[in-house]
A and B are shown apart, each in its own frame.
Chain A
Amino acid sequence: MNAFSMTVSEHQPQWRLPARGPVAMYCLIAAEAGMFTIFVVAYIFYLGKSATGPQPGAVLRAPIFLTICLLSSSLTVHIAVKFLRSGNVRRFAWWWGGTVGLGGIFLAGTAREWRHLIYQEGLTIQTNLFGTTYYSLVGLHAFHVVMGLAALTLVLAFAIRGDIRQEHSERTEVLSMYWHFVDAVWVVVFTVVYIVGR
């Protein structure tokens, strides 16, 4: 049936509509932003309301290095997509792989931080309100990092197999929009949890 779908007569001015992919991704981002807003509000609302310790000021240390890793991964994914758009698949794969690596470092760092909090500081999700809200908010973000990394890794595997070509640049760009969103959320989470919340 595809043969019939393009019967726009010649004399009409060009009829252009926005592409579906980015529109849907913006929709997903709007919905996700709504979810994160609720978790951030709960975190701020419960600041200082924990009945027992440990309190955030005593146990949290700002993960500066991890933040730098995650934020720079936004830059690397941007550069990767730019290379794919100009058809340079090899460079694309390298920068895309770098993004996966930086995201992986961030995730490993979060795991280390949680291990420290659980075993050294005795803070679990059950300990107090701080534990409940902290692990939920940071955990929700980490879950999004995991999902993003899974998608990025899949594309990386395709790239290594040689299945990614220049025509896929728009799709990879849609995926990179999600990754930018995950980074932007981290800016909010970092500010709320590690700067304001301490």
Chain B
Amino acid sequence: MSTASITVSNPSSDRRPLVETLHQWVTTVDHKRLGILYILYALLFLIFGGIEATIMRIQLIRPHNNFVSPEVFNRMFTMHGTTMIFFVAMPLVFGFANYLLPLMIGARDMAFPRLNAFSFWLSAFGGFLLYFSFLGGNGLYGAGNAPDVGWFAYAPLTSQTFSLGHSTDFWVLALLVSGIGSMGTGANIIATVLCMRCPGMTLGKMPLFAWLNITMGGMVLLVISPLTAAQLMLLVDRYLGGHFFDAQAGGSAVLWMHFFWIFGHPEVYVLAIPAFSFVSEIVPVFSRKAIFGYPVMVAATVAIGFISMSVWAHHMFTVGMTAAGNIFFVFSTMAIAVPTGIKIFNWLATMWGGKIQFKTPMLFCTAFLFQFLIAGLTGIMLSAAPFDWQLSGSYFVVAHFHYVIVGGILFSIFGAFYYWFPKMSGRMYNESLGKLHFWLFAIGFHLTFDFMHIPGLLGMPRRIYTYEPGRGWDIYNLIVTIGVAFQAAGTLVFIGNLLWSKWRGRAAGSDPWDAWTLEWSTASPPPSYNFAVVPEVKSRRPLWDLKHPEDPDWHYE
């Protein structure tokens, strides 16, 4: 199935003028090009979001610092959070899903290629709309600039009274527009996995990647839509004079919190489940073993999808709920640790007894396992309501969720970059630079986010723009900021490695990792039609069957 190819006159391979090439990229409906567009777009915004984080950390490096004003600091944390969640993490996981899903299930494209392009351009437009607020946020009255209401934009900060000008509107509209794009992609992923699989690939024989991403697609549909509804209500309040979140007319600011977090918490899992899907593909290949406990992994994933919808109010313990409400959300939050723990043990069991090769992707995935475990443990600490009453809104919480998003999700995304870069570009990355990136980033990550827990425990609130000396926070803030330098250096090495390898790397061949899923059976980079002959599969590891006809997997499954 692997060697056949089609000789078609491929118009994109000829040398063409730049305008024409750009035109091809802008009008493309090819899932691979859209996937790469998503990823490049996310990398651009990763730089923006990283610069904003750096500005905040420079401001906090010592007490009474005057690097930026309080107003600018508010804009920085709002833009940093919004950018990293909606315009970095989401496009990254969508990009990989777009690129890899059809290849992994033996299809020639997503189920709806034009919807795919439409979704991407909506998301892209949303991101540029958000950043246009730096220029256009002044509005008629000259008040405001970029959004400064925090990434969860609690009422009544967002009302016309407290948020003059149009900065909040840019925030609302950017998320509304990109949210519609996300829902389109969610539907597309589900339809692709259900309706486009190659012959023989029953649901139980799909790669785990497909299972995890279809779960993510379903969650996107169910959790982005409440956010869209809440944004519409906010627009009604701001433009039509409605009272949804207007406490003076009987409206409730707490209702916004519920509506936001019923989106906000499952969103973490919308990002984490694709991260799990990368780890579930990378760990077996570099352990030279099939994944341990495939059916349990699928069940745990779907369980996480369900449970994550019922934990949102653990963000609101300090707001004041009834005892019954507190107890419910404490236990539902603790319950989600069970399927997540099952997954961690399954990855460990996959590595156990394997011939582990610590190439760069595997390094990132191994670090992911440790860091995600610690992130989960601080999560369980915060899920206990009395503990949360002490630490909610402190730097302990900031450290916790950065451990999840950077230490867990971003590390696995870096792993995915190195693992699939040979497939996407046709070239091998530089292994030494990859390892340098890993160590710089791991050291920087731990300097920053390990030490960030401590000022939180000592009472440092999040979102303050400066602090008094002599509270025991100074040294930790210094260390945290020093860690940022390492992370920035690691990211520069990463981008340099990508660029250098794209043009100078040695040719990768179709299957550099001796892997088992269908994307490695076609050329690198894959031709526009993906597969010359639509493959047929008999097991979860079709390439293993092909390479080992004497002992194929389908004897055992």
The distance from the CB of A29 to the nearest CB of chain B, in whole angstroms, is: 9
- How far does the Cβ of B45 sit from chain A's closest Cβ, in whole Å? 24
Contacts of A140 in B (CB 8 A): 232
Are A125 and B197 closer than 8 Å at their CB atoms? no
Interface residues of A in 3-22 (CB under 8 A from B): 4-5, 7-9, 12, 15, 17-20
The number of chain B residues touching the other chain, given as a range, is: 35 or more
Q: Could you tell me the distance between the alpha carbons of A42 and B218 in the complex, rounded to whole angstroms?
A: 24
A138-156: contact bitstring with B at CB < 8 Å (1 yes, 0 no)?
Answer: 0010000000000000000
Q: Is the CB of A45 within 8 A of B252?
A: yes
Residues 91-126 of chain A: 1 if any B CB is under 8 Å from the residue's CB, otherwise 0?
000000000000000000000000000000000011
Q: Do B191 and A136 touch across chains, with their CB atoms under 8 A apart? A: no
Residue of B nearest to A33 (CB): B225
- How many positions in chain A have a CB within 8 Å of any CB in the partner chain? 40
A132 and B243 form a contact (CB under 8 A): yes
Any chain A CB within 8 A of the CB of B199?
yes
A-B contact number at CB 8 A: 133
Grouping DSSP codes into helix (H, G, I), strand (E, B) and loop, the A interface class, with mixed when no group exceeds half, is helix
Stretch in contact with the other chain, from A46-54, A62-70, A79-87, A179-187: A46-54
CB atoms of A51 and B533 under 8 A apart: no
- Encode contact with A along B163-204: 1 for CB under 8 Å, 0 otherwise: 000000000000000000001001110110011110110000
Residues from chain A with a CB closer than 8 A to the CB of B217 are: 27
Is the CB–CB distance between B233 and A31 below 8 Å?
no
Q: Which residues of A sit under 8 angstroms from B191, Cβ to Cβ? A: 20, 23-24, 27
Q: How far is the CB of A3 from chain B (nearest CB, A)?
A: 10
Of B187, B228, B536, which contacts A27 at CB under 8 A? Answer: B187
* Chain B residues with CB under 8 A of A126: 240-243
Q: State whether A37 touches B226 (Cβ < 8 A).
A: yes
- Contacts A15-B200, A17-B196 given; indicate if A128 touches B226 (C-beta within 8 A): no
Query: Given that A8-B199, A9-B536, A20-B112 are known contacts, is A42 also in contact with B255, CB under 8 Å in the complex?
Result: yes
B298 within 8 A of A: no
Contacts of B111 in A (CB 8 A): 20, 23-24
Whole-angstrom distance between the Cβ of A11 and the nearest chain B Cβ: 11
Asked, given contacts A7-B534, A27-B187, A30-B222, whether A1 binds B8 with beta carbons under 8 Å apart, the answer is yes
Q: Which of A8, A24, A136 contacts B536 (CB 8 A)?
A: A8
Given A17-B197, A35-B226, answer yes or no on A27-B240 (Cβ-Cβ < 8 Å): no
Residues of chain A whose beta carbon lies under 8 Å from any beta carbon of chain B: 1, 4-5, 7-9, 12, 15, 17-20, 23-24, 27-28, 30-39, 42, 45-46, 49-51, 125-126, 128-129, 132-133, 136, 140
Some 25 contacts from A to B, beta carbons below 8 A apart, are A1-B8, A1-B529, A8-B534, A12-B199, A17-B194, A18-B195, A23-B190, A24-B111, A24-B112, A27-B186, A27-B187, A30-B221, A34-B223, A37-B226, A38-B233, A39-B233, A45-B252, A50-B250, A51-B249, A129-B244, A129-B250, A132-B236, A132-B237, A136-B244, A140-B232
Known: A9-B536, A129-B249. 14 other contacts (CB 8 A): A7-B533, A15-B200, A23-B194, A23-B195, A31-B183, A31-B186, A31-B222, A31-B225, A32-B225, A34-B225, A34-B226, A34-B229, A125-B241, A132-B242
